[in-house]
Amino acid sequence: MMMDWILLGVLYLSGCNISSCLLHQYHYVADPMNWTEAQTYCRVTYTDLATIENTEEKNQLITTVSSFENNTKVWIGLYTIIDWRWSDGYRGRGAEYRNWIIDHPTFYYVYNYFCVLSGNKQPWQANNCLANFPFICNNGTQLDPEFVFVNESMNWSRAQRYCRENFIDLATVRNATESQELQSLVLSNWAWIGLYRDPNIYWSDGSGSSFRYWDTGYNKILSSVACGVAALDNSGRWKFLPCETRLPFVCYSIPPLPVMRQVVKLRMKLEDSSVDLNDPAVKADILKKLQDRLKEKGVSGVTLKWREQPDGRVFHKEGKSSEKKKRQKTEL
């Protein structure tokens, strides 16, 4: 026997567009500081240096700064740790040897220059790891290398795999003598060697945001840490500068979100009259199923709660008088 019940529930929805919710409110600080000083100021006064998680927040930060400055660079919460390493893991004597091109920046084309080339009788330079070049393997030991030039163009990762499968690893270079020997083997203009680094890009507040808005220009950084700026003179695009540079900066705080409340009335039909819809376990199970349905539809930021009637119950059997009133309203 079917039984009609009325279900009353309350939806609490955060008052912003779910697909483009701005989680950060930005605050421009004109007083120039180095990056560490700016970070300390933001953490004491607001929440932290600016984190940017999507295009809407990027535009909001630009608007915030542009109301004060139209042609400046400002610190944001982005920073990187620059750690060049050898493919074979060598960290012994000579591991820090570098033969960079004169005035070669340690941090070069920040968004993709993470692998190193040696030229034909030329010093080293960083390049995009996805680019294809010949490469040099080591077929000896770390302390007694035997360099082998492979005249086949591959990206750095494929070259590394080839060297490990056919020799020992990509070449490690520990001193000027080994560098000259290696250069004399290069038959093309450039060849991969084993020096590389990971991106190691972080936000001050520990956010895992992967959103990026890079400037494509050069970044001449000669230290092991570099800090991020948004360049208003280049559409707010990001680049890295020495952290000791004194600049204005942008902090963020997390504004309280307004809450909208909506009451939703549903009619449910029971096939099993023995089920008590007011049982706490049953109510919890229904809530979970409704919440799962919302997630399937891509709706987030919504909280569902039951609204109890004065008698403490949520569900009430719908009487015949209610049916009659409904029919009258429908006829009108």
In a shared domain, residues 98 and 35: no
Domain total in the chain: 3
Q: What percent of the chain has pLDDT over 90?
A: 49
Final residue of a structural domain among 238, 253, 268: 253
pLDDT at 79 over 70: yes
pLDDT of residue 42: 98
Q: Are both 242 and 278 inside the same structural domain?
A: no
Which contiguous run of DSSP H or E holds residue 159? helix 156-166
Residues 28 and 14 grouped into a single domain: no
Q: How far apart are CA 41 and CA 45, in angstroms?
A: 6
- Does position 187 have pLDDT exceeding 90, yes or no? no
Q: Return mean pLDDT, the chain.
A: 82
Assess if residue 206 is contained within a domain. Answer: no
Contact 241, 52 (CB under 8 A): no
**Residue 164 tokens, joined:** 């490990």
Query: Is the pLDDT score of 5 beyond 80?
Result: no
- 31 and 102: one domain? no
The string of pLDDT tens digits covering residues 238-256 is 999 999 999 999 999 987 7
Compute the average pLDDT of residues 158-174.
98
CA distances in angstroms from 3 to 273, 283, 316, 320, listed in the order given: 7, 17, 10, 12
Work out the pLDDT band at 301, boundaries 50, 70, 90: low
Residue 276: inside a domain: yes
pLDDT at 11: 45
Verify that 180 and 111 share a domain, yes or no.
Answer: yes
Residue type, 209: S
Among 210, 235, 253, the domain boundary falls at 253
Q: Which pTM was predicted? A: 0.67
**pLDDT band of 324, cuts 50, 70, 90:** very low
- Co-location of 299 and 247 in the same domain: no
Q: Which residues contact 104 (CB under 8 A, 6 or more apart)?
A: 123, 124, 125, 126
Instruction: Note whether 97 and 14 are same-domain residues.
Output: no
Same domain for 308 and 238: no
User: Is 203 within a domain?
Assistant: no
Residues 180 and 268 both lie in one domain = no
pLDDT of res. 332: 40
**284 inside domain:** yes
Q: How confident is the model at residue 23 (pLDDT cuts 50, 70, 90)?
A: confident
**Residue 10 and residue 28 share a domain:** no
> Is the model more confident about 214 or about 271?
214
Domain assignment present for residue 123? The answer is: yes
Same domain, 53 and 135: no
pLDDT of residue 121: 78
Tell me how far apart the alpha carbons of residues 180 and 192 are, in angstroms, rounded to a whole number: 15
**118-163 confidence digits (pLDDT tens):** 988 788 988 899 999 999 999 999 999 999 999 999 999 999 999 9
Q: Are 93 and 77 part of one and the same domain?
A: no
Determine if residue 303 is left, alpha or beta; phi over 0 gives left, psi from -120 to 50 gives alpha, anything else beta.
beta
Give whole-number Cα distances, 87 to 35, 211, 223, 246, in Å: 32, 28, 21, 36
Q: Per-residue pLDDT for 200 more than 70?
A: yes
Residue 244: CATH number of its domain = 3.10.100.10
Q: From CA 192, how far away is CA 203, in angstroms rounded?
A: 31
Q: Is residue 243 part of a domain?
A: yes
Q: Is residue 229 part of a domain?
A: yes
Q: What is the model's pLDDT at position 213?
A: 93
Determine the pLDDT at residue 17.
Answer: 45
**273 found inside a domain:** yes
Tokens of 33: 């500081």
Domain residue limits at 31: 22-81+224-253
